[in-house]
Amino acid sequence: MAGVASSSRQRSKIAPYLMILPALLYLGVFFVVPFFSLARTSLSSMGGSVYLPTLTFSWDFGNYLDAFSTYRDQIIRSFTYSLVATLLCLLLAFPLAYVIAFKAGRYKNLILGLVILPFFVTFLIRTIAWKTILADDGWVVTALGHIGLLPAEGRLLSTSWAVIGGLTYNWIIFMILPLYVSLEKIDPRLLEASKDLYSSNTRAFRKVILPLSMPGVLAGSMLVFIPAVGDFINADYLGSTQTTMIGNVIQKQFLIVKDYPAAAALSMVLMVIILVGVLMYTRALGTEDLV
Amino acid sequence: MTTQAGAAVATAADQVDHPAKTVKGSPKWGDILLRVVAALVLLYLFLPIFVIILFSFNDPKGKFNYSWQGFTLKNWANPFKFPALTDALKLSLNVAAVSTAIAIVFGTLVAIALVRQRFRGQTAVDTFLVIPLTAPEVVLGAALLTLFLDLGWATGYVTILIAHVAFEISFIAMTVRARVRGFDWTLEDASMDLGASPARTFFKVTLPLIIPGIVAAAMLSFALSLDDFIITYFVSGSTVTYPLYVNAAVKASVPPQINVLATAILVISLILLGVGTLYRRKRIDA
């Protein structure tokens, strides 16, 4: 930050405000105002006919109660699936990020490139590929059947596990990268020091690596959990009617059923829960590790 | 890739240039196990990609390209067989280019202000810019749709552009910010001490310094726009982008040309990535 204070010449007090103005104005109109529209819709009541519905603003908090009672299962499912997917991402990403940071040597950049590469294929097409991999007559189901590891349904596709697997796969990259960044910052001499002081590998991991990788773990968990909790594609492509999530309901109510107040109320609930989490995070750790 | 993706990718890319650190020590069982697990995870990341490439050579009998029927080259010989698919891809490329061109201006200005200037409310602006990155796409799409409904705007090309610019700004701002932080800004003072005007300083010193960051941010923004499904789904009306075409295909019929184009995009990205790396290496060597 040394260079920042040094050059005050040619800089007026209003310059920074002029520079941030276009973006703030745009986000004000097309990010903040939409949330007022959403909030207003969530408190409106539907009237008119099926063909020409009208929305009347009426402080109708009943929409929220209805959303909670009608879609309780989907809300619980979304949070459970996303939590399990986040934990799976952490379990899978940690060894890979660790190896890239400490063991890859001159192949570090190559492996990082390889990690990012699959995500150049459209998200939807990757999810369709999982449909093929998890198909009832596919080799994965056959192999798992032989060793007796299939879930109770006797298949993978259309089960909760397929949806959780899809969520895990599609967002694992956001766990790998922040984890790698925080592991990479660890000075290897700290590990050598812990060895010199006779700590075992496990102890060195617990006392040095794990605490120092916490910013990456937290940032990664947030970056996986948030898109996962609002997703409806994985539940739609890989799941069944028994595995629908909040996203599926919001999408269906908005675009097919056109029950705008109910869908808006559900969206608000989701947003508020996440916003509280994010603000707690940025208060504690700032925005630097997040992006 | 979702909205949060690119920023994380950008941060990791920043770390790439650091010299390799390796903990010395003889390989042990735990070490070997760790490497095996890491290799398996990497394989897992590629599993669907192998399937996508393999199935671009499939000769499906029915409407769906989900099970292997036989090898053929005819999908590759005729990648643009479905005009609707080609049109959707063209539209997506158009939306990605136009929205990125708009968002890059807004995003870069904010990023430079955040790094170069000290002003009241800086922390608030910082937090405000992060919030769009953390809003679930389904909520952002829903919120934008309620706004367009309130305004009585018909959804289509323009509303898709508006939505894409909205989610790209934060990303570009964060990516450029991460990239330009830590530059030696005294070079600007040096330039002006040597008698250059502020405009000349900007074009000859500042811009060349920040251009790599801007290019990286633009590439990310382009990729995100091209891949966005959820937000676009809410604000598209009857307009069909590439991901929207794919989604409709899943419900009706999946032509193997989808796999052909996906593989082609992957190969082109790979080439661009390779060229970019070589170019950077050459510049560093020179």
Per residue in B43-78, pLDDT (tens digit) is 999 999 999 999 899 888 777 777 788 888 888 888
Quick check: B163 and A30 CB within 8 A?
yes
Q: What is the rounded distance in angstroms from the CA atom of residue A67 to the CA atom of residue A75?
A: 9
Q: What is the mean pLDDT of chain B?
A: 84
> For residues B241 and B93, is the Cβ–Cβ distance under 8 A?
no
A172: which chain B residues are within 8 Å (Cβ-Cβ)? Answer: 45
The verdict on residue B215 lying in a domain is yes
The verdict on residue B53 lying in a domain is no
Residue B115, pLDDT score: 84
A192, A203, B44 from A200: Cα distances, Å? 11, 5, 31
Select the residue from B64, B122, B134 to test the A interface by mutation, using most A Cβ atoms within 10 A.
B134
Quick check: B49 and A102 CB within 8 A?
no
Quick check: A173 and B166 CB within 8 A?
no
The verdict on residue B153 lying in a domain is yes
Quick check: B12 and A181 CB within 8 A?
yes
Count of A-B CB contacts under 8 Å: 332
Domain count along chain B: 1
- A139 against B51, higher pLDDT: B51
The verdict on residue B81 lying in a domain is no
Q: Which two tokens stand for residue A30?
A: 């097309």
For chain A, list the domains and their CATH numbers: 61-285 (1.10.3720.10)
From the number of C-beta atoms within 10 Å of its C-beta (0-12, 13-18, 19+), residue B274 rates as: exposed
The verdict on residue B61 lying in a domain is no
pLDDT category of residue A6 using cuts at 50, 70 and 90: very low
A111: which chain B residues are within 8 Å (Cβ-Cβ)? Answer: 42
Give the gap in angstroms from C-alpha A212 to the nearest C-alpha of chain B.
16
The verdict on residue B150 lying in a domain is yes
- A245 against A259, higher pLDDT: A245
Q: What range defines the domain where residue B233 resides?
A: 86-254
pLDDT category of residue B16 using cuts at 50, 70 and 90: very low
B192: which chain A residues are within 8 Å (Cβ-Cβ)? Answer: 9-10
Whether the pLDDT of residue A89 is over 90: the answer is yes
Give the gap in angstroms from C-alpha A105 to the nearest C-alpha of chain B.
5
Per residue in B159-191, pLDDT (tens digit) is 999 999 999 999 899 888 887 777 777 888 888
Task: Report residue A61 CA to chain centroid gap.
Answer: 29
Residue B130, pLDDT score: 85
pLDDT category of residue A287 using cuts at 50, 70 and 90: low
A19, B121, B135 from A226: Cα distances, Å? 30, 27, 8
Q: What is the rounded distance in angstroms from the CA atom of residue A129 to the CA atom of residue A150?
A: 20
A41: which chain B residues are within 8 Å (Cβ-Cβ)? Answer: 146, 149-150
Q: Which two tokens stand for residue B253?
A: 């019929």
Quick check: B8 and A174 CB within 8 A?
yes
pLDDT category of residue A85 using cuts at 50, 70 and 90: very high
The verdict on residue B156 lying in a domain is yes
Quick check: B46 and A260 CB within 8 A?
no
Give the gap in angstroms from C-alpha B74 to the nearest C-alpha of chain A.
20
| Domain CATH for B209 | 1.10.3720.10
A249: which chain B residues are within 8 Å (Cβ-Cβ)? Answer: none
Per residue in B220-266, pLDDT (tens digit) is 899 889 989 999 999 998 899 999 999 998 888 788 888 998 999 88
Whether the pLDDT of residue A210 is over 90: the answer is no
B37: which chain A residues are within 8 Å (Cβ-Cβ)? Answer: 95-96
Whether the pLDDT of residue A130 is over 90: the answer is yes
B230: which chain A residues are within 8 Å (Cβ-Cβ)? Answer: 230-233, 247
- B278 against B32, higher pLDDT: B32
Quick check: B42 and A191 CB within 8 A?
no
Per residue in B177-231, pLDDT (tens digit) is 887 777 777 888 888 889 888 888 888 888 888 888 898 889 889 988 998 999 9
A230, A263, B152, B203 from A267: Cα distances, Å? 9, 6, 21, 45
| B169 closest CB neighbour out of A23, A35, A41 | A23
| A98 closest CB neighbour out of B34, B185, B227 | B34
Per residue in A17-60, pLDDT (tens digit) is 888 999 999 999 999 999 999 999 999 888 766 666 777 787 87
Quick check: A230 and B16 CB within 8 A?
no
C-alpha torsion angle, residues A172, A176, A182, A184 (rounded to 10): 180
Q: What is the rounded distance in angstroms from the CA atom of residue A171 to the CA atom of residue A126?
A: 12
Residue B5, pLDDT score: 45
- Which residue from A151, A130, A154, A283 is spatially nearest to A218, judged by alpha carbons? A283
**Which ipTM did the prediction report?**
0.84
Whole-structure pTM value? 0.84
A226, B173, B220 from B181: Cα distances, Å? 27, 12, 18
| B113 closest CB neighbour out of A16, A184, A222 | A16
Give the gap in angstroms from C-alpha A72 to the nearest C-alpha of chain B.
18
Residue A11, pLDDT score: 54
Residue B27, pLDDT score: 57
Quick check: B23 and A16 CB within 8 A?
no
- Which residue from B271, B252, B285, B280 is spatially nearest to B64, judged by alpha carbons? B252
| A287 closest CB neighbour out of B16, B126, B258 | B126
Comparing A165-174, B27-36, B157-166, which segment has the lowest mean pLDDT?
B27-36
The verdict on residue B43 lying in a domain is no
